[in-house]
């Protein structure tokens, strides 16, 4: 009881000191977070744990097609969460086909109803929106549903949807507004008739025959689950798929998608979108290899050609926050500080950071701990694992093979690899041609692992486990001493012994 009383007294003194500091400075809040996505919310809630007066200002500008959503940012509303749920819907469709080989008598014909799936996904997302509101209230974080812009380095001017103005001042300001999908506005009809991932997950009716333009992970993931639920889906890609990822793995991903039913228009780019009678969309494109112009009609055209930082209304230039002139992203140092000392930025809006929810969350928490706690720990952006949720998933951590060669030279890199067949695929007689894994190592006595890449079922679950070892500096000999769990796909990683350099067949045979 005495210890509890002392803790309460310390907290009371801290709160009293905070109120005194705010009173002397004239600032209403210790911390104001502009942006209610994963990173911003994590930062705000962590700061509140230290007894600080915290506010979050968030506003979702409707997409050009009028789609809007609630608190929680891209991941919750139009990103990771609905994407994974719709990916699961597609996987269930594949499982139904496999089930017949395992003795299940599946009544025919099996068909998918978009509206039922969409309603279930959207209801779950709305529950997450409400959960975020409740968490902020429980932690005594003030929430403003307003669009914010800087008036001066310590002041944000907030505007409601109705145009009501509120002025908020804070000792520290964190910008966490994330990004939004780009529209290729130079293409006639792109803005008028196209949608983006901001819209796809909130459609009430099926998108029908769909053209997805772009070769990013957003493009391939969306095209993958659209194909998986039985829709006629085409991907148009101007150059390489999954830029920034290991290109051998990227090629295997798209090869599998083609065999799975997704069509690809390679080395092509659209030039015009036109609405036809019956609301069909006619798309005209050029094939750079053949030098030809072609057309086809679709029910939906979805743009997945990249994302842009959501900074347009922040008025950053007024307060001197520097951005990259090419990308528009905010320039920060290792402590997430901008060019203005008490203004910080985290997440997708920052230059040189991975556009991943978990990194934004971790960076936000660490920033709050440095500002208001006793911590000096910085966010470590090395060896961050990730997964592309295409029909056959691709997970990775560490360097791609190309990057490893560029950094260390091909003579100093050893790649252990294998083509394998998941046990689940055998009875169903599913093709496993693209199920592949490789470990990229330094070619030295200890053979430190630089990168691990895996294509196969549940890739995210597989990579998450191995990521810890690689974060801790795991070596190839240590990997070989790791006992696998039989019979799993991940087990095959612990048995990799054939190098690319050897030229031997890397196909796994036997049990």
Catalytic residue among 87, 101, 132, 486: 486
Q: Crossing angle of helices 38-49/357-372, nearest 10°?
A: 30
- Which residues have CB under 8 Å from 188's CB, separation 6+? 271, 272, 273, 274
Residue 38, marked binder? no
Q: Is 347 annotated as a binding residue?
A: no
CB contact set of 285 (below 8 Å; sequence gap of 6+): 236, 265, 268, 269, 270, 271, 293, 294, 295
Our separate counts of H helices and E strands in the chain read: 15, 21
Residue 94 assigned ligand-binding role: no
> Is there a binding annotation on residue 348?
yes
3-state class percentages of the chain: helix first, strand second, coil last, to nearest 5: 35, 25, 40
* 84 marked among binding-site residues: yes
User: Annotation-wise, does 215 bind a ligand?
Assistant: yes
Whether 486 is catalytic: yes
The reply, when asked if residue 310 is annotated as ligand binding, is no
If you search the block for the tokens 């790649």, which residue do you land on? 415
Determine whether the annotation assigns residue 151 to a binding site: no
- Could you please report the per-residue DSSP string of 145-206? -SEEEEEETTEEEEE-TT--EEEEEEEEEEE---EEE---TTSBTHHHH-B-HHHHTT-SS-
Tell me the C-alpha to C-alpha distance, in Å, between residue 199 and each of 62, 74, 103, 396: 10, 12, 39, 28
Give residue 473's region: left, alpha or beta (phi > 0; psi -120 to 50): left
291 is in an annotated binding site: no
State both tokens at 470: 């690689």
Please indicate if the annotation marks 73 as binding a ligand. Answer: no
Q: Which phi and psi angles does 49 have, rounded to 5°?
A: -65, -25
Residue 14 CB neighbours (<10 A):
14
Annotated binding site: 84, 148, 214-221, 306, 348
Annotated binding-site residues for NAD(+) read: 214-221, 306
Active site residues: 486
Residues in binding site for FAD: 84, 148, 348
């Amino acid at each position: 009881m005495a210890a509890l009383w002392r803790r309460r007294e310390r907290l009371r003194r801290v709160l009293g000191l905070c109120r005194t500091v705010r009173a002397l400075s004239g600032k209403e809040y210790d911390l104001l977070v502009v942006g209610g996505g994963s990173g911003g919310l994590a930062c705000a809630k962590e700061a509140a744990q230290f007894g600080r007066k915290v506010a979050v200002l968030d506003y979702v500008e409707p997409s050009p097609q009028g789609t809007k959503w609630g608190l929680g940012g891209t991941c919750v509303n139009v990103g990771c969460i609905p994407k994974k749920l719709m990916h699961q819907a597609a996987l269930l469709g594949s499982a139904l086909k496999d089930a017949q080989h395992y003795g299940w008598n599946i009544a025919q014909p099996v068909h998918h109803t978009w509206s039922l799936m969409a309603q279930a996904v959207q209801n779950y997302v709305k529950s997450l929106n409400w959960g975020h509101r409740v968490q902020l209230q429980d932690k005594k974080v003030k929430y403003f549903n307003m669009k914010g812009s800087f008036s001066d380095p310590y002041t944000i001017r907030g505007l409601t949807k109705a145009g009501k103005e509120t002025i908020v001042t804070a000792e520290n300001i964190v910008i966490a507004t994330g990004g939004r999908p780009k529209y290729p506005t130079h293409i006639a009809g792109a803005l008028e008739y196209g949608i983006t991932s901001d819209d796809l997950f909130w459609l009430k009716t099926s998108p029908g025959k769909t053209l997805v333009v772009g070769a990013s992970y957003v493009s391939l993931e969306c095209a993958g689950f659209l194909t998986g639920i039985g829709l006629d889906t085409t991907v148009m890609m101007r150059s390489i798929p999954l830029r920034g990822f290991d290109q051998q793995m990227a090629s295997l991903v798209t090869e599998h998608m083609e065999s799975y039913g997704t069509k690809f228009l390679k080395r092509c780019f659209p030039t015009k979108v036109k609405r036809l009678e019956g609301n069909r969309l006619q798309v005209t494109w050029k094939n750079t290899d053949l030098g030809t112009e072609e057309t086809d009609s679709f029910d939906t055209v979805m743009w997945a050609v990249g994302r842009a930082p959501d900074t347009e209304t922040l008025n950053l230039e007024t307060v001197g926050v520097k951005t990259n002139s090419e990308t528009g992203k905010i320039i920060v140092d290792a402590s997430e500080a901008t060019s203005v000392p008490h203004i910080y930025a985290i997440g997708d809006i920052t230059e040189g950071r991975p556009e991943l929810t978990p990194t934004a969350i971790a960076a936000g928490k660490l920033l709050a701990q440095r500002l208001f706690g006793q911590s000096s720990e910085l966010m470590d952006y090395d060896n961050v694992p990730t997964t592309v949720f295409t029909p056959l998933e691709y997970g990775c951590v560490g360097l791609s093979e190309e990057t490893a060669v560029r950094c260390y030279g091909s003579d100093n890199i050893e790649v252990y690899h294998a083509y394998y067949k998941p046990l689940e695929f055998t009875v169903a007689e599913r093709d496993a041609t693209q199920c592949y894994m490789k470990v990229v190592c330094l070619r030295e006595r200890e053979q430190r692992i630089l990168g691990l890449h895996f294509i196969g079922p549940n890739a995210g679950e597989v990579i998450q486990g191995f990521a810890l070892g690689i974060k801790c500096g795991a070596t190839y000999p240590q990997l070989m001493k790791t006992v696998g769990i039989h019979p799993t796909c991940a087990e095959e990683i612990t048995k990799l012994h054939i190098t690319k350099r050897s030229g031997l067949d890397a196909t796994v045979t036997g049990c």
